Structure 1
Amino acid sequence: MNEQQKILRIFRLIHILAGNQRKTIKQLQNTLEVSQSTIYKYLNLLEELGYCVDKDEHDKYFIFEPDHRMPLFIEEEVQFLNQCLSGLPNNNPYKISLSKKIQLNGLFIPTAQELKQRMYTRLILQINEAITNQLWITLCKYQSADSSTSEDRIVLPKKIDSENGQLTAFDVKRNAIRMFKIHRITKIEHAEKPAQPVNPEILTPVDLFGLTGPLPIKVELLLSQRAKHLLEEEYPAAGSFITPENNTLFPYRYVSEIRDFKGVGRFILGLPGEIQIISPIELIAYLLERMKGYTFISNIQTMSV
């Protein structure tokens, strides 16, 4: 392994350990594709660099960072230590150890979160480049929320929502549009265009809710104050489609084109009584059909007085 690969893997390790999901040694080994002993060496190296690596009761590792970082030595202490060390032979173990700490003291060592943010920004730039140039990419060792394993996912990026940390892309393996969490991506590589035929919906635009379909569907809704707030919070781009409405119960109107009823349907069903559907009538029919699949459980206890 050359030094560049080693550095990149260490940065990826910091990115993983600084995230919300803690990892076992085995999971780190599979993600970084190195031996177990190498993972332990990397963890020790992070400790030497000043990062606090810890593990929980399930032997899952993470980086712990206090709210404030303090330097190893203040300037006066550095001067005093240099004077003391100057009189010791160069092979003295204490001189070597302290000299390393003094050197680190003069360096700006970014926190894991700062490095994570830099990597996040780099991923955003790579994805935007792929969207602009219609390039296929590989999300290396991507771990979905419903799986404990990670795998490479070859995708064609369609839309990115950096504020909510979501990537909408055409997934070759699923042969459909899928949503990916950017914080679960640790590395992106260019990929060749798949040889096999792909779903025609890959050529169609993606709507606000990250879905696609053959034809645009105009949707018009009236929103309560709460519905408007939640819609803009979950989908920041929705703000450009919302206008004030002279209505006490529903003071906002949302008008836009969608590609599938699923996305807007989930949002409406999650806010009963907060949204009034103006059009189309097919959306109402879709919601009524969806509600047939809902199971309502009533637990009523009969009490005798």
Structure 2
Amino acid sequence: MSNQNKLYRLLRLIALLKQEPPKSINYIAEFLECSSRTVYRYLELLESVGFIIKVNRFKKYSIQDTQLLSNSHLNKEEFDFLKKLLQTSGRFNKISKSILHKLSLNTDKQLINNDIYDANHSITINQINEAIENNKQIVIKEYETINSQNNSYTLIEPIKLTENYRLLCAFEIGNQKNTFFNLKKIGNIIITEQEQKYKSLHECSTPDAFGVVKKSESFEVNLQLNLKAKSLLVQEYPLTKPLLKNIDGNNFLFSTTVYSLKPLKQFYNNLKNDIKILENTSHEFD
């Protein structure tokens, strides 16, 4: 198992043990899809980095609620290390243990959140990691968009997951392009027996807010969205969330640079009455 998968299991275990009621070893093993022996090893590791593991008289486990409050924020060195660790392999060391000790469930800025605890999301991530480890192509079924549910099959070569487990960077074989998929929109995944054969074309540059990687041209976008449009935008494109500024509670300003106008045009065309195009927006948009 890759180091990314091991760390992901530990994050899920922390999330699980912070939820009431306490859990039995068998329940934890089934939840993590591992052996009871592995669960005990994970519990020992968590204790070794400072977590207080409680066991009640029914031999059910939980993490003490009062901990991780004063030192719950990551410093820059730890954050950068965690980002690298989640994308590569390596051994646990002093920094990684410190990070595990500081992770908390209290904010969506941290990695242990409802996405990690969600069972379907977890299955998708595990399948993707398995395909990456084994150098296999995968088929994405029923990739859901804001307009409709696409039941077609998309054949891809998975490259890597983003550090927050929200997006998958992959090479789409049909159109010969690198792109990003929102994991929450993926219906099902099928791991094929076909080896990846386009690795020389793989590239995962930092995408814009719509998952498009940098191209030769870029476009300035300045929009005003009402609450409905804002909610739908964040639902469809999670990376847009930090770019939205609240104007008066019911309207939001969205300003950014994008590398393609296609996804934003599609979004706008379905919500023209809810979106206002502001000045300094690329003329090709309207």
TM-score (norm 2): 0.42
Q: Whose radius of gyration is greater, 1 or 2?
A: 1
Greater strand percent: which structure? 2
